Amino acid sequence: MTPPSDDKTSWAQKPERSSMAALRLMTWLSLTLGRRFSRLVLYPIALYFLVFAPSAKRASKTFLSRALGRVARVPDGFKHVLSFASVVHDRVYWLRGRFDLFDVKISGEEHLAGPRAEGRGIVLVGGHFGSFEALRVLGERHGIDAKMLMYPDNARMVTAALAAINPALVDSVISLGRPESILHVREHLSTGGCVGILADRTLDSTNTRAIPFLDEPANFPLGPFRLAAMLRAPVVFMAGVYLGGNRYHLHFESVLDFADVSVQSRETAITAAQDRFVDLLQQHCKKTPWNWFNFYDFWHENPR
């Protein structure tokens, strides 16, 4: 798994501490020992990073203090990192199709039903909050083909991880930043598929807006919403919330349908969609803060 880093560079430049050998070992242990026994290793891992990653610890405390409305304490930080470790650990089972191991509740499926009944694809926007892999339950139940849009460096790492865990899913990632990327996205949406993109980080610091988030402005990327506007696609908020143990709750909320937006009002609609997304993300952060997995100074660091 990729732990919270402790250097002072931006999130996009933080080095990978894990190796593919370690990933394969963890995958083997998880599948051989089973989820219950392999989870035992998560506790020393969480304690390790709570002690030896001070910048991640500070970032966690800053966020939790904002979300909880009080000064976060050491047990809060441990629970935060343990939740992150648990979600990453469960990724192995989601990607291997072991949906039977989890108790999953779904809210807001009606926000997906309308566009799908019309044969339209959907742009799912989320943040580094909870588990995107848990959405595979929805695909399994309703035949939704969801692909993840990622920046090139992250796409390479995730593709390598998928190859180690479940090679059949390598094609479920679309790398952004290439001339053909938008064509691949358009083609997938035209067949009724969904694309998911995380809308709380960016590689382009010039294409952001400062939006109030937990009582202080933070920069959020406009790119995901410009993409949806260009493709005239419906946008739906997604959050795969981890509730502890084997429990997850998938939330979907309608954001905006760009098919109803004229060219003249597109920019206004883009900012409205982004405001709606940030508001929903903030609501979930206050309700289940342990699912926030941006372990850096989200308000004052300018990601490149």
Mean pLDDT in residue range 36-46: 91
Q: Where are the domains of the chain?
A: 11-291
Return phi, psi of residue 264, to 5°: -65, -30
pLDDT of residue 162: 60
Lowest mean pLDDT among 142-146, 162-166, 227-231, 238-242: 162-166
Residue 200 confidence (pLDDT): 93
Range of weakest confidence among 13-17, 140-144, 209-213: 13-17
Residue 17 pLDDT more than 50?
no
Q: Where are the alpha helices (DSSP H) in the chain?
A: 20-33, 35-38, 42-52, 54-68, 74-95, 110-117, 136-142, 152-165, 181-190, 223-230, 266-287
Measured in Å, how far apart are the chain's first and last C-alpha atoms? Answer: 22
Which region among 38-52, 177-191, 237-251 has the lowest average model confidence (pLDDT)? 177-191
Q: Are 41 and 85 in contact (CB under 8 A)?
A: no
Residue 15: the pLDDT is: 42
Q: What is the mean pLDDT of the chain?
A: 85
Compute the distance between CA of residue 175 and CA of residue 153 in angstroms, rounded to an integer: 9
Q: What six digits make up the tokens of 86? A: 């648990």
* pLDDT for the residue numbered 180: 82
The residues pairing with 125 across neighbouring beta strands, listed in sequence order, are 197, 237
User: If you count them, how many residues does the chain have?
Assistant: 304
